[in-house]
Structure 1
Amino acid sequence: MKPTVSLKNVNEYHKNSLSRSQRFASWITGKIGTMTFFYVIFSWTAIWLLWNLMAPKTMQFDPAPDFLLWLFISNMIQIFLMPLIMIGQNIQGKHAEMLADNDFEVNKKAEQEIKELKEKLEYLTELIEKRLPELK
């Protein structure tokens, strides 16, 4: 019987291979791609716009219809997040490729073991069939 080959933990290997900045980009990508982030951005935008539309003129800090400060902040968020999200997606894509490669290796090993078991089963079947007349 052959010794079993231990498989590597791709998730652990991937996690340990990332630099601090790559982990940060991956974390940002994971957090921004959630409904919670959408609700935060939506709420922030609604509150900002409603305040600057409905509040007394003396309390408005970004008057309608321009909303220049809101546009500036929104654009800065987009400018900073876009490359981080793309980096995070690239990292996630590499992780998915590593998982696929690992799955392929597992499948190759399983196929080889199944072939070996099939050969042994065929051999045992032949032995039983040869001995069957003797047992009657």
Structure 2
Amino acid sequence: MSDRDDRRLRLDQPRETGRGWRRQGRRRMDPETFGRFAEGFARFMGTATFIAWMTVFVAAWLFWNTLTPESLRFDPFPFIFLTLMLSLQASYAAPLILLAQNRQEARDRVTQEQDREQTARAHADMQFLAREVASLRLALGEVATRDFMRSELRGLVSDIEERLAGPEDEQADGQVDPTPR
């Protein structure tokens, strides 16, 4: 029995799908590689460089087929071959541009979802911080502030000064207050 037949009979391994002649020697193109190619192509087609080279190509084609002797012309006046070439270029360009747009939309969708999640987290954080600030304000309502402490200390200092100054004034008059303060 051959190795291939042996693999077919094994039950512990998955079977290969598709026809045998397609599997052998045929490489699969990575979709990411083709997608990157399509994006690069679409990006190049949107540049002034592409438009300039395409203009030079068409102008050279027109000049060659109008100004050279008739024996050297390969595309006479209606320029059917030029029209065919431009149509062929457009028929390849359109799907590649659409593929690049689809890939960009997918990236934009992922970015938008990440932004939405980040916004939701930021909103939750802001709500949490607002609740914390509110609880701190409530707690600070019960805590003595610096201004309150200063006013209380000033009041105590003035009371002490009055008590200390009070007996001296009374001794000067000759009268002593018998009641303690």
What TM-score comes out, normalization by structure 2 length? 0.57
Relative distance call for 1:43 and 1:130 in structure 2 (3 A) is farther
Q: Which has the larger radius of gyration?
A: 2
Of the three residues 38, 43, 48, the one matched with 2:51 is 38
Query: Take 1:96 and 1:122, find their aligned partners in 2: how far apart are those partners?
Result: 38
Q: Percent identity?
A: 24
Aligned residue number for residue 89 of structure 1: 101
Q: Relative to structure 2, which stretch is displaced further, 73-82 or 42-51?
A: 42-51
1:77 aligned to 2:89?
A: yes
More helix by share: 1
Shift of 1:58: 4.2
1:20 aligned to 2:33?
A: yes
Query: Take 1:35 and 1:100, find their aligned partners in 2: how far apart are those partners?
Result: 30
Q: Deviations over 1:27-78 (max 9, x none)?
A: 2222222232222212221222133223343443323x22122122111111
Q: Deviations over 1:2-33 (max 9, x none)?
A: xxxxxxxxxxxxxxxx6211222222222222
Secondary structure of residue in 2 paired with 1:36: helix
Does 1 or 2 have the higher relative contact order (CA < 8 Å, sep 6+)?
1
Aligned residue number for residue 15 of structure 2: none
**Match runs of 1:1-136 below 5 Å:** 19-63=32-76, 65-132=77-144, 136=148
Relative distance call for 1:74 and 1:121 in structure 2 (3 A) is same
What TM-score comes out, normalization by structure 1 length? 0.74
Task: Count how many residue pairs are aligned between Structure 1 and Structure 2.
Answer: 118
Aligned residue number for residue 10 of structure 1: none
**Cα-Cα RMSD:** 2.1
